[in-house]
Amino acid sequence: MAKFQRKETSVRDLFIIQPSIIGDDRGFFIEAYNKRDFVNLGVDKEFVQDNHSKSKRGVLRGIHFQKNHPQGKLIRVIKGAVYDVGVDLRKGSPTYLKYFGLELSSENKLMLYLPEGFGHGFLTLVENTELLYKTTEYYCPDCDTGIIWNDPDISINWPFKNYNIDNPIISKKDANLQSYKEVLLPFKYR
């Protein structure tokens, strides 16, 4: 049995990775990353940084990306649950400005792979959710930017009502992000 399965999504080059879970009455074991196996899945990237984020219920982060030194990301939840979103920001892509979102949780153990040129955001669905993600490029504070979470042209269907979240908690930085039309997107599709 393969350690990982790649599941395609409706957005080009963005996919779900399902790890094999070995479990019994004591608990479980998963291999969360294996370079050789990921190369076989089509992820022939070197991850250079690991990030760990903790948020309370109802926090919405994003849609983030780096203009220069773009980051590919491998995202998973180790505690709690998020609605995780990737937005294709690569001009010329057949899925340009399309998004894909799904629930990542400590229960389903799914991972989402976003290549360079994608925006990333998430909404925490339960209290004290913890997210881990690997990046293919180092964080660059001067390159850090994003698109407003409720951009009408991207029109992300955040599941607020499904989780009884009346008012998402948004940082001042994220609340002041611009629409995609106001942001110079530097990414090109192959």
CATH at 158: 2.60.120.10
Residue 1: band (very low, low, confident or very high) from pLDDT cuts 50, 70, 90:
low
pLDDT in tens, 133-186: 999 999 999 999 999 999 999 999 999 999 999 999 999 999 999 999 998 778
Q: What is the mean pLDDT of residues 37-55?
A: 95
State both tokens at 169. 């908690």
* Secondary structure (3-state) at 80: coil
Residue 38: band (very low, low, confident or very high) from pLDDT cuts 50, 70, 90:
very high
Q: Is residue 53 part of a domain?
A: yes
Q: Is residue 125 part of a domain?
A: yes
| Number of separate domains in the chain | 1
Burial letters 140-160, b for 16+ CB under 10 A, else e:
eeebebbbbbbbeebebebee
Q: Is residue 58 part of a domain?
A: yes
What's the pTM value of the predicted model, to 2 decimals? 0.94
Task: Could you list the beta-strand ranges (E) of 43-117.
Answer: 49-55, 60-66, 73-79, 81-88, 99-105, 111-114
Q: Is residue 29 part of a domain?
A: no
What is the DSSP secondary structure assignment for residue 36, as one 8-state letter?
A: H
**Among this protein's residues, is 64 annotated catalytic?**
yes
What is the DSSP secondary structure assignment for residue 29, as one 8-state letter?
A: E
Q: What is the mean pLDDT of residues 82-88?
A: 98
**Among this protein's residues, is 133 annotated catalytic?**
yes
Distance CA 62, CA 175 (A): 9
- Give me the pLDDT at residue 183, please: 87
Q: Is residue 189 part of a domain?
A: no
Catalytic position from the list 96, 99, 113, 133: 133
Residues of the domain holding 176: 46-182
Q: Is residue 91 part of a domain?
A: yes
pLDDT in tens, 7-37: 999 999 999 999 999 989 999 999 999 999 9
Q: Is residue 26 part of a domain?
A: no
* pLDDT more than 90, % of the chain: 90
Catalytic position from the list 33, 64, 96, 120: 64
Least confident interval from 28-32, 106-110, 117-121: 28-32
Q: Is residue 16 part of a domain?
A: no
